[in-house]
Amino acid sequence: MGADDREQARSLSLRGVRPPLRVPGYEQESFVGHGAYGEVWVAVDSNSGRKVAIKFYTRRGGTDWAALAREVEKLRYLFNDRYVVQLLKVGWEADPPYYVMEYLEHGSLEDLLRHGPLPAADAVALFRDIAVGLVHAHNKGILHCDLKPANVLLDQDRRPHLADFGQSRLTNEMSPALGTLFYMAPEQADLKAVPDARWDVYALGAVVYRVLTGDPPHRTAPGAAAVLAMGKLEDQLAAYRELIRKAPPPAAHRAVPGVDAGLAAVLDRCLAASPRDRYPNPQAVLSALEAWQLRRVRRPLFALTGAVFAALLVVSGVIGTVLFRDAVATAREQVTDRAVEGNRFAARAAAGRLAVQFQYRWQILEQEARDPQLRAWLSAPVAELRAAGAGDAIDAWLAARKARYDPQFDAGGRSAVWFADNRAGLQLGTAPPHPEHRWQYRGYRDYFHGLGRELDDKAGPVNGIITRPYRSAVFRRKAGDADRFWTVAFSVPVWPADGSHAEPVGVLGLTLDLAGQAKPEGDREGFAVLIDTRPDATGRRGLVVRHPELDGLPAVEEFPRHYADAVVAWADAGGGPFPAEDAYTDPVGGDEGGWLASAERVVVRGEDGAAADTGFVVLVQARRGDVLDPVRELRARLGRGTATAAGLVVLLVAVLWAGLLAVVDARSRSPVVRLFRRWTGLPPPEAGTAGTGIGSATGTARTPVPGTGEHKPLGPG
């Protein structure tokens, strides 16, 4: 009833209008209203005191008794269904005929919606209850075919009850049934349509859309007014079908607060223009709605579970990363420390061996310097020696000493040249023999005068002579026509035979080529470098005289010079741990900061036991990358292990998540969930109830229902 109808009913009740018939067992109280068929009165059951509504069919002339009989028949089928207005009694033989129904004092859903749309939570509750009512009706073979807010009555708890089954059809009926415009499915708007359960699905979606937005779908769309203005029924139905099928899908419900994507998707499918895209029946709608509600209920649980899993993964990842980095850092530190300590030990051992070799060379030179024959040759005038042809004898004597002592050293430690010079600085002999150098002046050489440099005057006069064992500054030894080797000379003074030490009679010495790589003992990576901290010919200190990179260089005139300034600074500071042990830059091989190095000075002991610095420093260095290869391998293994563990954790979490979904969501279509349920023996996901596939129908056309804003298709009746 509209507002005008209710006001008229109230006015008639106040005037004391009597009911057309006294129904035994009921006391009529008030007039409710009248319609095309007759009057409706509110009465009270004399036995139970329950309020009922009595509908009298007082207008027999225009009454479609078949339609009334059909409605009564359907209500009898739905007897005692909470979701349907209950038929209590039928007075079919009375005059006028009547039937008694339960009275729902809160009116219809249409009355409620005149005050505006409802909140999403209330709309969902109505959605579910109306869907349940339709499921009950369909389960008993009854299609409503005219669901709209005016046909949904509300009880004292505002729970919906389905009413007005005048257009309903049994599942075995083929006669058409027209619903109400903008609540009716487009395929239902056809006078040749066969009834179909999907008609009620569309109407259900339209009712809920109206509850949420205030208007049924498409009523405000362009062209809707033209549909209502159509004169002929067939034209109106065709225009309505065309409007629904061509208009864009309704979307106003998506802007309603509380309507999420899941609920919107359920409504969208209910309102699909094509029946193929719609839910097959109200049971499928109810299942989808319950699945959505279950997802909403589970969402906080899943969110919390996901957050816990994510937190566990993050915490595990952070802890694993920290432990991984700590393990790698600790391994790197330990490997570096061991490498540095190994370098330090190797440098100490190599320096010790060199010191022993240097000291031994001085010892054998001092021993041979006491030979009477050598003293005689060095003391004799050069003219006599040349006249006597003593040069070859001196060379032979030197060669015999070289042959005697060289086998005591390895190939890299054997002498290059033995030589003997008299006090005038003239070279008397060499081994190997070099006749072209015999009788030449060598008094300008550092090994002769011990000034730490070679003199510019290569013709004399003699500027002093050494008086103690001496190690010369390094120099370039000639190899053919070019310089190839850095060489150092060890020399000792030769004293007179009378035992006086007023002045030496000459110098006995040997040279040592500083070529070849000095490999540390054992299987350690790296090599030993020899550095001279005394000034070289240019006056600069720290010349690298033995290094693997210097081996095999071409015989060039300008032999390259490389200086280790860090070693000089370390030596000047008094030694101790090398300050750049873990970040040394090799001046020859480059790679800044890419070396681990330790240094040790070469120190010999004199006859009195005092230490004497030779000026040489042994530097043992190893490439950082080679030393840290085991750490990289460890890191790779740990990385693979960590990745495997992380993968297993993720897999475990995925299995747990799939198990949770499989147990909680029995309707999930996820392949993982289906596989998990099959593997664990759980029943397969539930399928929605199949549609009845009855088709569509039309029915008696009606004019617009006054006061409701709803429109029945125009037509006779």
Verify that 381 and 470 share a domain, yes or no.
Answer: yes
| Contact (CB, 8 A) for 601 and 617 | yes
3-state secondary structure of 511: strand
Choice between 445 and 594, residue whose per-residue pLDDT is larger: 445
On the 0-12 / 13-18 / 19+ scale of CB atoms within 10 A, 102 is middle
pLDDT-derived band at 608 (thresholds 50, 70, 90) equals: low
Tens digit of pLDDT for each residue in 200-234? 999 999 999 999 999 999 998 888 888 888 878 88
Residue 540 pLDDT: 92
Give a three-class secondary structure readout of 628-695.
Answer: CHHHHHHHHHHHHHHHHHHHHHHHHHHHHHHHHHHHHCCCCCCHHHHHHHHHHCCCCCCCCCCCCCCC
Average pLDDT over residues 38-55: 89
Give me 596's structure tokens.
Answer: 């681990």
Identify whether residues 258 and 198 lie together within a single domain. yes
Ranges 342-356, 506-520, 578-592, 692-706: which has the least confidence: 692-706
Q: Which two structure tokens, joined as six digits, stand for 448? A: 């002769």
Residue 63 and residue 3 share a domain: yes
- 673 in a structural domain: yes
pLDDT (mean) for 669-690: 60
Q: Which of 182-191, 444-453, 708-717 has the lowest mean pLDDT?
A: 708-717
pLDDT, averaged across the chain? 83
Minimal CA–CA distance to 283: which of 200, 375, 371?
200
**Top-confidence residue, 670 or 398:** 398
Q: What is the pLDDT, as a whole number, of residue 697?
A: 34
Task: Assess whether pLDDT exceeds 90 at residue 271.
Answer: yes
Residue 380: which CATH number? 3.30.450.20
Q: What CATH number should be reported for the domain holding residue 250?
A: 1.10.510.10
Q: Using H for helix, E for strand and C for coil, what is the string for 396-419?
A: HHHHHHHHHHHHHCCHHHCCCEEE
Q: What is the structure's pLDDT at 691?
A: 38
User: Which of 110-114, 478-482, 593-597 is the least confident region?
Assistant: 478-482
Measured distance CA(236)–CA(232) in Å, rounded: 6
Give residue 701's pLDDT: 34
Per residue in 97-156, pLDDT (tens digit) is 888 888 988 888 999 999 999 999 999 999 999 999 999 999 988 999 999 999 999 988
Long-range pairs for 623-627 at CB < 8 Å and ≥24 separation?
A: 623/525, 623/526, 623/591, 623/594, 623/595, 623/596, 624/336, 624/582, 624/593, 624/594, 624/595, 624/596, 625/594, 626/525, 626/526, 627/335, 627/336, 627/339, 627/525, 627/526, 627/596
Tell me whether residue 590 is in a domain: no
Using the 3D structure, point to which of 466, 495, 513 is the last residue of a domain: 513
| Contact residues for 395 (Cβ-Cβ < 8 A; gap 6+) | 429, 430, 431, 433, 438
Cβ atoms of 520 and 527 closer than 8 Å:
yes
144 and 54 assigned to the same domain? no
Of the given ranges (57-71, 575-589, 689-703), which has the lowest mean pLDDT? 689-703
* Per-residue pLDDT at 251 exceeds 70: yes
pLDDT of residue 518: 58
Percentage above 90 pLDDT, the chain: 38
Q: Are residues 417 and 457 in the same domain?
A: yes
For residue 135, the model assigns a pLDDT of 94
Give residue 293's pLDDT band: very low, low, confident or very high (50, 70, 90): confident
Which region among 59-68, 496-505, 689-698 has the lowest average model confidence (pLDDT)? 689-698
**Three-class DSSP labels, 576-618:** CCCCCCCCEEECCCEEEEEEEEEEEEEEEECCCCCEEEEEEEE
The verdict on 182 and 199 lying in the same domain is yes
Among 372, 370, 396, 394, which residue's Cα sits nearest to residue 384? 394
Is 75 part of any domain? yes
Considering only residues 366 and 13, tell me which one the structure prediction assigns the higher pLDDT: 366
**Is the per-residue pLDDT at 26 higher than 80?**
yes
Q: Which pLDDT band, with edges at 50, 70 and 90, does 705 fall under? A: very low
Tell me if residue 254 falls in helix, strand or coil.
helix
- Residue 12 binned pLDDT confidence (cut-offs 50, 70, 90): low
The pLDDT of residue 11: 57
Last residue of a domain, one of 103, 133, 150: 103
Residues 116 and 245 in one domain: yes
Q: Which residues contact 608 (CB under 8 A, 6 or more apart)?
A: none
Cis, bond preceding 19 (omega within 30 deg of 0): no
Q: So what's the pLDDT on residue 700?
A: 33
CATH, residue 42: 3.30.200.20
pLDDT at 553 > cutoff 80: no
Answer yes or no: do 675 and 703 share one domain.
no
Q: For 456-470, what is the mean pLDDT? A: 85
pLDDT at 13 over 60: no
Is it the case that residue 620 has pLDDT exceeding 60?
yes
Residue 38 lies in a domain: yes
Q: How confident is the model at residue 516 (pLDDT cuts 50, 70, 90)?
A: low
Which range is most confident: 256-265, 495-504, 515-524, 617-626?
256-265
pLDDT beyond 50 at 708: no
Residue 122 and residue 267 share a domain: yes
Name beta bridge partners: 246.
Answer: none
Q: 127: domain range? A: 112-281+689-717
| pLDDT of amino acid 618 | 92
**What are the phi and psi torsion angles at 47 (to 5°)?**
-85, -45
pLDDT for the residue numbered 171: 79
Q: Is residue 411 part of a domain?
A: yes
Categorize the per-residue pLDDT at 34 as very low, low, confident or very high, splitting at 50, 70 and 90. confident
The better pLDDT of the pair 625, 689 is held by 625
Kindly tell me if the per-residue pLDDT of 325 is higher than 80.
yes
The pLDDT, as a whole number, for residue 475 is 86
pLDDT at 181 (0 to 100): 92
Both 150 and 194 in a single domain?
yes
Number of helical (H) and strand (E) elements in the chain, helices listed first: 17, 20
Which of 240, 8, 357, 287 is closest to 134 using CA atoms? 287
Mean pLDDT of 490-501: 87
Closest CA to 31 of 44, 48, 16: 16
Residue 18 located in a structural domain: yes
Q: What is the pLDDT of residue 213?
A: 95
Residue 671: burial class (beta carbons within 10 Å; 0-12, 13-18, 19+): exposed
Are residues 241 and 123 part of one domain? Answer: yes
- What per-residue confidence (pLDDT) applies to 552? 63
Active-site residue numbers? Answer: 146
- Answer yes or no: is pLDDT of 282 > 50: yes
Q: Among candidates 250, 260, 162, which has minimal Cα distance to 214?
A: 250
Reported confidence tier of residue 676, pLDDT bands at 50, 70, 90: low
Q: 619: helix, coil or strand?
A: strand
What pTM does this model have?
0.54
Kind and range of the H or E run holding 306: helix 282-369
When pLDDT is averaged across residues 572-600 and rounded to a whole number, the result is 80
Q: 30 with 132, same domain?
A: no
Tell me if 693 is assigned to some domain.
yes
Number of structural domains, the chain?
Answer: 4
Residues 66, 84: contact at Cβ < 8 Å? no
